[in-house]
Amino acid sequence: MTDINRRTFLRAAAVGGAATFGGTLVGCGSSGGSASGKTTVTYWDSYVSQAGWVDNEIKLFQKANPKITIKKTTQVSDKYDNLLSLAFRSSNAPDIFMLPKTPTLPTQVTNGWLDPLNTWATKDWQSGFPAGSFTEGIDVFNGKVYTAPFSGAGPSLQLYVHNGIFKQAGLTNSDGSVKLPQTWDDIGKFASIVRSKTKADGLGFGNADNVILEWWADILVRGAGSPGGMASAGVDSADYRVGRWTYDTDRNYADAVNLILQWKKKGYFYPNSMSISDEQARAFFEQGKFGMTIGGVWNQPEWTSHKFTDYSLVTLPSPSGTPQALYYGPPGGSFVAINAKSKVADAAWKWFDWLYGDAAGKRWVADGQGLSAHPDANDPSKVTFKPFAAYVGMSKYAVVGPQPTIKNPDAAKVTLGTVKPDHNDVLAGLYTGQLGNVHSALSELAGRRNKSLDDGIKAAKAQGAKVSRDDFTFADWDILKPYTTKPNS
Amino acid sequence: MAIAQARQRAWSARWSYVYLAPMMVLLVGFIVYPIVASLGYTLYRWNGIGDPSEFVGLGNFRQITHDSIFWHAVEHTFVFAAFVVPIQLVLALALALVLNNRKLRFASFYRTLYFLPVVTSAAVMGVVIQLLISNFGDKINSILLTLHVIDHHVDWLAQPHFAFAIIIAVGIWHTFGYNLVYFLAGLQTIPEDLYEAARMDGAGRRAQFWHITIPMLRGVGVVILILAIIGTFQIFDIVQIITGGGPYFATEVVNTYIYHLAFGGANATAVQPDVGLASAASFFYGLLLIAFSAIQVVVLRSLVRRRSQGVVAA
């Protein structure tokens, strides 16, 4: 038996302490290796309803790469941008992360947040994506690739119909399928029938976070032929045909808002719609409290997880029944990027590559999460879930739109200042009756947004950028067709 | 000679300085420095990332003072204070008088009960209230409609007056316990002899309250009043959680206004947050509060002076 003297004890304690603290530090730190040779890659996203797909991908990835551990953190979506920004400021940013909306991607590149991927994202790797996927000003800056497109283009918003409620209301075709509203009038008429023949309300939404009313306006005005819609981010909500916001001159906006107000006045909307959140509205729709709601494809996995699948969907209901404008997106796209200061960039790239892989894309589509950037993953015949197949069938309503940053890369230096009251505020003001005059409210909003762009251009010019309003104007744009933006056109 | 005396005095009080040091470090680090630092930011248009570079001079202050939403937020903050402070203080005093009754059984239990909201996070209370209203809005409406309290369905957080009333009610409930405890402490410092002497002189309960309790509570009452006013001017979390300042800024208070400028609203569109503008709003609001406090001090001093002149004249 060996006697333990004081010195031996202290040495053992020191070793034990170091091991304990070492372990703790690995747990707290952003990333790193360990004595076992395992590398930990920290990963952030704001995917809540898509968490099942992410978790499954992590499981499969770790099985294929046993020496790499992905430490996922999902931040709440409305705080994600702020939290990531704070993480960068305090040097605690994750190794790989979902790109935030703010600051804009060019600003993130300028700030040195993102690692250029050209070492790994070679031309050969890029060839696995459709042509035009890597575009200067979108996911490539100064010739360096920083991210890649992940999702395929699809209509951002859809009008969801509760089949059970519609059947109760007798809104069925001769074959027993539910009647789907195709026009603005259909929506009002069906809402009225649902209200009179069932205990449910016709329409519903959850605007507690002040972000949902714009969805209603957006889907209606696009259907009527206003390509800027109302829910697009930043300058994309302008009408690129004239390079300005046209809420004051395009009557579709006032018509759509007046229609919403008319539906409210007639009592078609679930009366607590302004007090409940979008999450609650999703649950209430599922419970049959209202017959129609507007949302995105992200609703579907959550409803499926609750075994609620008895619903249908349409997009872009319009005054005539034929959409006069579509949803538009860039030719490339973005999803995740690697932290420029990551100490485990190679391992982070492996996870990046896995997420962007064809197999992960197929699982994304099969899971009903959305469309993949890889077209072969979007095979509707392989989609067995009817509502999601309906969404895949709507992909024709999303096309490539004009891109100011391709026309003039300096356009990326234009940042829009905060517009207050913004479109959500104005819509809430009109809906609650605090603003009485639709036309003047929309005109003032257009004025504020246009001034914001003018100020942004002025500020960019002061910083040396060569940019003007013309860079945001695409007079030759046919809004029903894909648009190819030519550099310096 | 004087320097030597000062040194000796400082040395003899060295432990006081040692004990004060940690608090001073925290105060300088987290209060004084941010105030001084934010003053520089007020002169820039800055999104909070990297170093500020776009100098706008006093433009941010000009924008704030011309922004009607800011002035509405100031108005809402003062209206909140105008409702919360008097209601809360009257209720707290009334309950403190009841709980100060030595014959009351389980007084400690009641004190704990009324103090519980204070130790509960305002954010948690806000979330609970928001969920209650949104999940049970229908049931609340049907009960009130049955009782004929309302004649039509109310979307509680969509109607400015109701939304603001809910925030005021939660504000009163949340910090009510503090004032109760302060008043209780004040009541317990009033010598029982005074009441005994008053009773011997034939004073009734009402006379004892007006001529002994209220005058004896004046000192602590002023402190409670000032603390309550300061507390209400700091209102943020309850508003942010329950309404986010909406609908259409109907419940926007200055602190949520500043927060929305600095970090954007819930609707994170691709616009840049403006920390410079938020700093200017914050600084300007600070100046407004200093001016308000100065007026408060002048009024209180003048009241005290008038009262002491009255006593001398009598």
Summarize pLDDT for B150-199 with one digit per residue, the tens: 888 899 999 999 999 999 999 999 999 999 999 999 999 999 999 999 99
CB-based contact A434 B248, cutoff 8 Å: yes
Single-letter amino acid, residue A304? T
CB-based contact A210 B267, cutoff 8 Å: yes
**pLDDT, position B313:** 59
* Other C-beta atoms lying within 10 Å of the C-beta of residue B35: 13
How far is A10 from chain B, CA to nearest CA, in Å?
A: 33
Q: Chain A: residue nearest B67 by CA?
A: A420
Side-chain half-sphere exposure of A241, counting CA atoms within 13 A: 13
Give the pair of three-digit tokens for residue A386.
Answer: 């009817």
Give the pair of three-digit tokens for residue A435.
Answer: 């603003």
Q: Which of B54, B134, B272 sits opposite A272 (nearest CB)?
A: B134
Single-letter amino acid, residue A187? I
Q: d(Cα A46, Cα A323) in Å, to the nearest integer?
A: 32
Residue B31 pLDDT level (bands cut at 50, 70, 90): confident
Element containing residue B241 per DSSP (H, E): helix B237-242
Q: What residues of chain B have any CB closer than 8 angstroms to a CB in chain A?
A: 45, 47-50, 54, 67, 69, 130, 133-135, 137-138, 141, 153, 155-160, 244, 246-250, 260-261, 263-274, 277
CB-based contact B159 A432, cutoff 8 Å: yes
CB-based contact B270 A101, cutoff 8 Å: yes
3-state helix, strand, coil in chain B (%, to 5): 75, 0, 25
Single-letter amino acid, residue A389? A
**pLDDT, position A33:** 54
Chain A hits for B135, CB-CB cut-off 8 Å, are 276, 280
A43 near A94, Cβ under 8 Å?
yes
CB-based contact A432 B160, cutoff 8 Å: yes
Q: Which of A78, A111, A417 sits opposite B271 (nearest CB)?
A: A417
CB-based contact B274 A425, cutoff 8 Å: no
Q: d(Cα B155, Cα B70) in Å, to the nearest integer?
A: 26
Give the pair of three-digit tokens for residue A454.
Answer: 């003018």
Nearest-5° Cα angle at A78, A76 to A84: 70
Single-letter amino acid, residue A385? F
Residue A183 forms beta bridges with which residues? A318
**pLDDT, position A130:** 84
Q: Which of B155, B158, B270 sits opposite A102 (nearest CB)?
A: B270
A284 near A294, Cβ under 8 Å?
no
Chain A hits for B49, CB-CB cut-off 8 Å, are 85, 88-89, 103, 107, 111
What pLDDT digit, counting tens, does each position of B40-67 carry?
A: 899 988 877 777 877 888 999 999 999 9
Q: Which single residue is written with the structure tokens 């999940």?
A: B135
B208 near B199, Cβ under 8 Å?
yes
CB-based contact B155 A104, cutoff 8 Å: no
Element containing residue A45 per DSSP (H, E): strand A39-45
**pLDDT, position A45:** 94
Chain B hits for A234, CB-CB cut-off 8 Å, are 269-271
Q: How far is the first Cα of chain A from the last one, in angstroms, to the nearest whole number? A: 87
Q: d(Cα B96, Cα A414) in Å, to the nearest integer?
A: 60
- DSSP conformational letter for A79: G
Residue A372 forms beta bridges with which residues? A151
Q: Closest by alpha carbon to B166, among B131, B194, B121?
A: B131
Q: d(Cα A367, Cα A378) in Å, to the nearest integer?
A: 12
Q: d(Cα A90, Cα A85) in Å, to the nearest integer?
A: 9
- What are phi and psi for residue A291, nearest 5 degrees? -85, -25
Q: d(Cα A453, Cα A414) in Å, to the nearest integer?
A: 8
What pLDDT digit, counting tens, does each position of B109-163 carry?
A: 988 888 889 888 998 999 999 989 888 888 899 999 999 988 888 999 999 999 9
The three-class DSSP label of residue A394 is helix
Q: d(Cα A415, Cα A392) in Å, to the nearest integer?
A: 34
Give the pair of three-digit tokens for residue A373.
Answer: 């950037």
Question: Would you write out chain A's pLDDT as a tens digit for each of its 489 residues?
Answer: 333 344 443 344 333 333 333 333 333 334 555 556 789 999 999 998 789 999 999 999 999 999 999 999 998 777 788 899 999 989 999 999 999 988 888 889 999 999 999 999 999 999 999 878 898 878 999 899 999 999 888 899 999 999 999 999 999 999 999 999 999 999 999 999 999 999 999 999 999 888 899 999 999 999 999 999 998 878 899 999 999 999 999 999 999 999 999 999 999 999 999 999 999 999 999 999 999 999 998 899 889 889 999 999 999 999 999 999 999 988 878 999 999 999 999 999 999 999 999 999 989 988 878 889 988 888 777 788 899 999 988 988 999 899 998 899 899 889 887 788 989 999 999 999 999 999 999 999 999 999 999 999 998 999 899 999 999 999 999 999 989 888 876
**pLDDT, position A333:** 84
Omega of the bond leading into A106 within 30 degrees of 0 (cis): no
How far is B130 from chain A, CA to nearest CA, in Å?
A: 8
Which residues are CB-contacts of B58 (< 8 A; sequence separation ≥ 6)?
B43
CB-based contact B134 A275, cutoff 8 Å: yes
- The 3-class SS string of A73-140 reads EECCHHHHHHHHHHHHHCCCCCCEEECCCCCCHHHHHHCCCECCCCCCCCHHHHCCCCCCCCCECCCE
Cα separations in angstroms, A111 against A114, A339, A342, A403, B38: 8, 11, 15, 22, 21
**pLDDT, position B293:** 86
Q: Closest by alpha carbon to B158, among A5, A304, A36, A434?
A: A434
Residue B311 pLDDT level (bands cut at 50, 70, 90): low
A408 near A466, Cβ under 8 Å?
yes
Q: Which of B141, B157, B272 sits opposite A274 (nearest CB)?
A: B157
A227 near A401, Cβ under 8 Å?
yes
B61 near B38, Cβ under 8 Å?
no
Q: What is the ipTM of this complex?
A: 0.81
Q: d(Cα B227, Cα B229) in Å, to the nearest integer?
A: 5
Tell me the whole-structure pTM to 2 decimals.
Answer: 0.78
